[in-house]
Amino acid sequence: MKTWIKTALVGIGLFAATATAAHADDLQSIIDAGKVRAGVCLTSEPAGFRDAQNLPVGYDVDVATLLAEKLGVELEIVEVTGSTRIPMLLANKIDVIICNITATTERAKSVDFSFPYLRTGIRILVQKDGDITGFDSLAGKKVVVGRGTTGEAMVKLRAPDAESRLYREPRRRDPDHEAKKGGRLCRG
């Protein structure tokens, strides 16, 4: 647990210390405002989600909290999604994105990336007793990926004959609905 805190602090320190002249005004405006607006995805446990009281919690919320503390400002959590996080940053609706995002060359044309505080990679989840052993086995199979994600790009590149099923955004968790279903996350 303490390792991720140290890693997050290094990332936060690099974020604050490596602001170039063009971005120094942004950092100073955050400090002057006394508040940092952090865009956090709240649909993915344990990174970011809502607890039973509907409060934002999780790893990314902890990182945002540490960032605000290190800057000496108030934290405002702004819920974002995979498709809204960059547009909201560019529209100045948030000051920083703290959620799952892959640094790509295309994205780097419009936003700057800090030192990564977490690396997870992309995984394919299949049935244990199924016949899928790799990307080559996905030909003709249905594959669910998030629209506009690096997962979608990977499936198009490495399994072009797979039948991609794109989803926009995961639904927000509903603890009451989950309780009725025996504690399982129910999406339908």
> How far is Cα 43 from Cα 51, in angstroms, rounded to an integer?
11
Alpha-carbon Rg for the chain, nearest whole angstrom, is 19
Q: Are residues 89 and 180 in the same domain?
A: no
Domain endpoint, select from 108, 143, 174: 108
More confident residue, 100 or 84: 84
In a domain, 115, yes or no: no
- What is the number of structural domains in the chain? 2
More confident residue, 21 or 93: 93
Whether this model's pTM surpasses 0.95: no
Q: Are residues 46 and 100 in the same domain?
A: yes
Angle at 10 between CA 77 and CA 26, to 5 degrees: 50
In a domain, 114, yes or no: no
Q: Which domain holds residue 172?
A: 122-188
Q: Are residues 19 and 59 in the same domain?
A: yes
